[in-house]
Amino acid sequence: MHKADVEKFLSYIKFMGIFIVLFGLIYFFLSKLCTAVVLGLVCLLFSAVQNTGLKYEQTFKITIYALTIPTLFQALHQILAPQFYYGRFIYYCIALLYLWFAVRAIRIKQGEDSNKDIAL
């Protein structure tokens, strides 16, 4: 290979690197959005089981907040122990526990508010 061939090859690598980073960010965002949509439905199910009467819009917002900690865990998992096979399982368990307890906290808060109405 000559110097000109290497320079040409390096310019292609730079372009591919930019493409990979942009595609990776778009993929990351869309995958988290799809996860939030599905877990929003699960949160709606939790809401029905616990009789809180939440709408999908509310459960979706709760799900977005609930995915913050698991996403940080997932990033640490990929950096520190990518060979650990149960990382995805732990990711979803953390998110589901967060959703369950968030809906439970809403149910308790609704109960307290209804008790205040009766006391007045």
pLDDT beyond 90 at 38: yes
Q: Which amino acid does the sequence have at 109? A: K
For residues 118 and 120, give the distance between their C-alpha atoms in angstroms, rounded to a whole number: 5
Tens digits of per-residue pLDDT, 43-91? Answer: 999 999 999 999 999 999 999 999 999 999 999 998 998 888 898 999 9
Strand ranges in 2-113 using DSSP code E only, listed in sequence order: none
Token duo for residue 53: 């009467």
